[in-house]
Structure 1
């Protein structure tokens, strides 16, 4: 075998600890095998052809989507995560198709207006179990997509569902209690309900492909949010010296390319962030795998800690970048002003539909007459969560005389986005 997870004859290499599609635990509803595709390839294809995936094109990442054609949306973010996840999987001998399926589907449950929409829906649903985008992803792929004659949802393989649910790690301790992330509010009902029908081993780690996809999400966030924030003028290259890891990269770029124009320097920085992080995960993952010596994917699920991970040094760099972005980008006054307006749109929509569910389209309001309040609220949350930014604004205009203007002009120091 040569490097990059490919044998000398070009055949893809799969390590003994990778998730083997031939040994899948199957689907909730049994289906005949495909003569040309593995189960994980079929899962990837079902995600790409889903309605929820297409809607990601018009769902906000950080900025509202119409403020610049070159800023990331949920779709462009998802594609970047997929590319990184495949690179990690190939280098570590994992199943690339499963890693890609998980990367492509990990954000299906996000609402319109990014995390603002999720926070707003969570507040609206406070008395009805709250709203969690990972749980919403599970609802989408197990019941809300209605495309197939034989089942609701996408009927994905067990390994894909496990990876989606455990995107942030195990949900339960070995004692059966919620882990720290879920301790304050408990496990979302949608996950518990599905787990009761099709157990997902919530106290164990996910397989290595899911761990790779989760890290790919962090890598993509760090690199492209820096890129978007710089191009929008929310902060300058000079501000990045606050983060030692980024300062070192900028010094490297300056040494190699003295006086490089800002737009090229930004790109050189973003690509170096991705490269260093990816190379670190490969090196750290190789070390942890050698130390654990797993003979199968079951050994990875039973391990005490993730085996695909950042080294301590890059974990610190990741935390430093996130702290910088939180202060300079996510809490920027201009961004926060738009978030407040988007929050009011979601809250207004929920209140209007809660007062009169028949204001929703017939396929969403059908069967709610006399239904319990929690069931009605969850149906409304499902409807709003599926909206794109544009659809949510249009829906608000139909119901209210005044709709907040979400247009926002970045600071004048932002770079013109004139690439072809």
Structure 2
């Protein structure tokens, strides 16, 4: 008897998800606790493991379907058996039984297309829906493509590269006609250079949620951004001087983010409104600092939370950030990792951004934007010197935070970074 696999609990207040990808196909053997499907929620992707070892007998939902918590997702049998799935491909030979054209009468073009389709369908184990669609569209053989994705998986770019290489090869008929000087019996199809294409792809649930929340922030909050710049010489010198000792003692690299988190914690003590939120007609102040750190993940931006960051050491902050970054790339972040947060730090500098106006993450009231470090000429004691400078941007909800408070908060951060001793003596 087959074992039912149901949609697991996905987190507080989350009642449904979207089937993002089937990691196992009907007929594939599965081990106990081995992921068979990936579900997309509003914030993260969740793998659904098989409760037993056996063979995947049925996929009850298709990729892109919305499924509720507790709904039947798949069936796993104890051994080999008859596999069933909605919209299952028809077995070979059905056309002949139904009076359709026999394979021996098919022309070579149709046969080649059928072979390409069969090859694409047989590669379901490693092809995502988007890649499978590209394989069918371009008629390439996925078994001859070397995947550059995670675990050697074939990506859409790999398929497009293979199709481009295929199109670039001159066809034998064309070469023969050119050699013989013969004339074509039909008009030649001319491929226009710079051919334009369009592709329509449904937004992932994560991207839909990001779009909704960002627009909600713009529609609800009175957004304003203030800027400052900071001389990073002192931080860079301290990091260069102690990074080897730090790594040896704590087993983690000393980065810039821990300095910024500590500086935010220090500045928030002087300007508590930056670490507060509006709830109905009340202002809720926090005596703790939970910092949401924007991290780039394969399917979009996620913001895991460093809890009680104001009580953490440099090493604890760096360890938390490294762990979140690794799990974001692997797609293993959980809902609990991103719940809450009282303030956000976004580092666009890692992508080369010089300046930006970040958008707050509701119900938070402020977000600090970091940018790339760039050597610039500045005046120091009446002389022009070259310094490693970084622009800082603080976007805030003007309904709660006044301009004076926003500027003061950013100045406190600037002072702490230009003189890191302040972080140690709480000044």
**TM-score band (shorter)?**
under 0.3
Provide the TM-score with structure 2 as the length reference: 0.21
The structure whose RCO (Cα within 8 Å, separation 6+) is larger is: 1
Structure 1 or 2: larger strand share? 2
Provide the TM-score with structure 1 as the length reference: 0.21
Structure 1 or 2: larger helix share? 1
